[in-house]
Structure 1
């Protein structure tokens, strides 16, 4: 039925569907369709289903409810062989990220109806497979394309090429590209992005240079690819080469600088941006967090609130919670939690996981556990956050109990879980438990990483099992890093094992010649043993290597303001008052005053 042959009531209904903005209105229109027996008009029904999934609603459960309603309408139709209608329903599921439902519907339609997929069907499903990393289903779609004769369709081939690229199968993507008799700019871009995404910047650059036409999107993909490798030079060259820089280009370059550790350059670019969006702010805030500058992350967050009308989203919240966790600024953390609740972000698993981590690192283990208990759907990262939270606060037994509960629910631990378990044993001095779970790592199908070895060395060292710790270091499949050697060196010094300390210092100094803690640890050991000439020798080695003792620094939060104190800083405002209070506290702790 064409629109020219529609009745006036059908045209009115179609016009209403184009104008509707609310769920209530849409349901009224559906009632109108049923009352006037208009559901036989396939085009009108298709428009109704597409409208069900395109109305912007404030709550996700309302959108899902409308999608279920649309699916019921679709399922009750006796004839479901119209390609336009079927494609609309499949796309509706894909749009709501219901990949399983979309693919199951596609299979059911092919099996139980006369539905014949067209090029649009395959484009939608290929994109969905690529976005969901559904490799087996993607291969099935590819075989259906071959069987149904769409191998020469430019749009279908480009969608398949992009799908294989997202799977990381750049070889298959390149074969499709080479076999294409016609290529669009999208085809070129999909393959270049695939190479860049997989880290193959040699082939990405070669294809990029061969492209007949380039736009900002392909430049951004190349910059991002170099950024992930930390190769800032080529990324900057491409950025400077661009003639049509947009906000994405600037943001990609900021990400590149942050990823390579050059935060100053990233901030200079950020300040020079002609316009910024929320992604730009999030990238810079996250860059500060990744580079261990939580103060700057919080300052930039406050600046965003004060100077823009942008509302923080879930990415902003996660980044800020990471910074708060590093600083221990609990009051600000509570405010962010309340903000997330107001904006209904607190239902997201990643937000809840970040809250669990933040409260635990601020010492509020009970609040951390409460957020965990109130999380209905827990991911492995959620369990890991609380296990590690218990660990860092010395609640080793609780961490192990939670780990056992996790296993009882058939949730398989990963490398981070096992690191949290070993850390819990370490912080609580549970040596035998630590040994037990260290041996169980491979039983879970995991391979111990250097962090697991480091945790065990620290656990054994703190317990005085120096010989066992030394053997573990010697038998590691990888070379010990500076952290492991520093940990073992500290244990040797604590238990006054001069021979092992002296030997370990030589190895540690080669890896981290500027680490003052290693030298000071051994110097203090010599001083405790009254070996003054050896202690002086350590001082000479420090001077020769240009090593200076780092100044102690601490951070506290007072009335929502972060205060930083540096050891020996007599110029700090109100220093006399601070110093006087510290002296009184020292006397009080010694029992000199009541």
Structure 2
């Protein structure tokens, strides 16, 4: 094919070769329009090779256009194609179909094929059907895929290697593994891609027995097949099998390593993930994002920030939307507001604030750092909002003790036509809880059915806490007993704290037995009852609680606080003296204590 193309080009005129040279350069939308004018002026549109080249390049330019005109390039390419002088050239028609497929324009590719068959002498070939079948698979267009399959059988391309492989892949994407396997078994010739398509299909459906059997039969396993199997085991949480297969791989690429890192992070083995991350011979942005996100997911925000700084300092990678969404929860957990402000400025500079998930993460960060006004400003400036954005703002007002404002946002959300979900209602009930709005809480708890929502155990927990804080212990206890769920440790602890707050010792004693049985290592339950006994001067009972606490292995968590000073986050743990400036801090604290004591006298 290449030699034939070179032979044709050797017969071209100098003006045709000049046009080809222009097309092969790095082009913009403007330069392509100039090349089109050059072709029209010199009547070069009759050269189908040049016209096909122009349409292909124009179509591919679509991905780099502005968001306001995402398919401008392919639209112009289609207009040029529709005015083509020769109607039935297979190569040219295939190029236009392939361009639509490449831009995920399934309807356009399928409609174009039918129009060409109906209105021209277009004769489809194996490249036509490979593109169309791929389009059906990606778009999960089952009916159209079966129709194309019928065309393939009727025209006689069902034994073509490329077409039959595409069909196997299409049916695998549809989840019709029986049909895919039958087609695979009927193939007179198979390629590495054919084997991999079926393996990936089985793996995607969770049928790892068939996937592994087929994988073991592959004559020459390629990297794609290995990666597909590893990824499938990772998604199933079978890290033992994933690791064994990873170790078998004759070669690995960044996809292999990143998939394993993601798996270890998802299974809570953050040390295993970091070991793999450090051993990677080559990293990309996905690798860094997976590891940063893994630290956040496993409640290690300090390590997430360290890695984020390392990525900025030691690599050429620039944070993208995924990085930002991953790191903002860590910033919120540590209260690193200065760093959060820097991230916000970076987001604006790189125009990432057009992404709804980035803006939602930003407002959530500001709210958790106590900057609820900035959180509201981010929300108001969002170009588009989704339910998660409203939820973040409602919860932000709730955790900052602004219950009435949270309810106002909730009502505004409903007026704007957004349907609340279970997370919305947790935010609403939490807002009522933090602000002591008992009647409002009861109202919206009962109203959940009107929104088509079923009260989950988390919603009952919010109501128990709300009633308990308000001193309505009898009502809270009845709600616990009427729940369609068994009370969990959180609800029992919440109710126990309410009993302690109301000095209801007898009720607290009954609750603590259930709570300790369910969570023997939860130190808070013991401490709550011990303090309650101490307030009643029941010292013997208080000592018995301490003994029970030791017997069950429950240890009181050491207190810790975090503060940001000059963009650096410092952590202080009770009784810890490892801080490099501990002596200076201690002397300042003693001076403050002395000064306070002096003012008292």
Q: TM-score, normalised by structure 2?
A: 0.87
Distance (whole Å) between structure 1 residues aligned to residue 146 and residue 574 of structure 2: 65
Residues 1:527 and 2:534 are matched in the alignment? yes
Which stretch has the larger CA shift, 57-66 or 279-288? 57-66
**Aligned-residue offset at 1:329:** 0.9
Residues 1:162 and 2:174 are matched in the alignment? no
In structure 2, the residue matched to 1:347 is 354
Match of 2:146 among 120, 142, 146: 142
Match of 1:538 among 545, 569, 591: 545
Residues 1:243 and 2:250 are matched in the alignment? yes
Distance (whole Å) between structure 2 residues aligned to residue 57 and residue 26 of structure 1: 14
* Contact 1:224 1:255 survives alignment (8 Å): no
**Aligned-residue offset at 1:196:** 3.1
Residues 96 and 569 (structure 1), Cα distance of their counterparts in 2 relative to 1, 3 Å cut:
same
Distance (whole Å) between structure 2 residues aligned to residue 182 and residue 326 of structure 1: 57
After the TM superposition, which residues 11-26 of structure 1 pair with which residues of structure 2 at under 5 Å, given as runs?
Answer: 11-26=17-32
Residues 512 and 369 (structure 1), Cα distance of their counterparts in 2 relative to 1, 3 Å cut:
same
Match of 1:548 among 552, 555, 559: 555
Residues 1:362 and 2:378 are matched in the alignment? no
Q: TM-score, normalised by structure 1?
A: 0.88
Name the SS for the 1:54 alignment partner.
Answer: helix
**Aligned-residue offset at 1:31:** 1.7
Residues 1:9 and 2:37 are matched in the alignment? no
Residues 1:320 and 2:324 are matched in the alignment? no
In structure 2, the residue matched to 1:50 is 56
Distance (whole Å) between structure 1 residues aligned to residue 185 and residue 479 of structure 2: 52
Distance (whole Å) between structure 2 residues aligned to residue 82 and residue 593 of structure 1: 97
In structure 2, the residue matched to 1:285 is 292
Equivalent pairs, count: 591
Match of 2:268 among 246, 261, 264: 261
**Aligned-residue offset at 1:308:** 1.9
In structure 2, the residue matched to 1:488 is 495
Match of 1:205 among 188, 204, 212: 212
* Contact 2:132 2:148 survives alignment (8 Å): no
**Aligned-residue offset at 1:307:** 1.8
What stretches of structure 2 of length at least 5 have no aligned partner? none
After the TM superposition, which residues 446-485 of structure 1 pair with which residues of structure 2 at under 5 Å, given as runs?
Answer: 446-485=453-492
Name the SS for the 1:346 alignment partner.
Answer: helix
Distance (whole Å) between structure 2 residues aligned to residue 161 and residue 463 of structure 1: 63
Distance (whole Å) between structure 2 residues aligned to residue 190 and residue 340 of structure 1: 39
* Contact 2:90 2:124 survives alignment (8 Å): yes
Which stretch has the larger CA shift, 181-190 or 361-370? 181-190
Match of 1:29 among 26, 31, 35: 35
Distance (whole Å) between structure 2 residues aligned to residue 88 and residue 239 of structure 1: 39
Name the SS for the 2:420 alignment partner.
Answer: coil
**Aligned-residue offset at 1:120:** 3.7
* Contact 1:219 1:242 survives alignment (8 Å): yes
**Aligned-residue offset at 1:324:** 1.1
Name the SS for the 2:24 alignment partner.
Answer: helix
**Aligned-residue offset at 1:160:** 4.2
Distance (whole Å) between structure 1 residues aligned to residue 557 and residue 544 of structure 2: 19
Residues 338 and 104 (structure 1), Cα distance of their counterparts in 2 relative to 1, 3 Å cut:
farther
Which stretch has the larger CA shift, 465-474 or 295-304? 465-474
Which stretch has the larger CA shift, 325-334 or 443-452? 443-452
Distance (whole Å) between structure 1 residues aligned to residue 505 and residue 88 of structure 2: 83
**Aligned-residue offset at 1:332:** 0.6
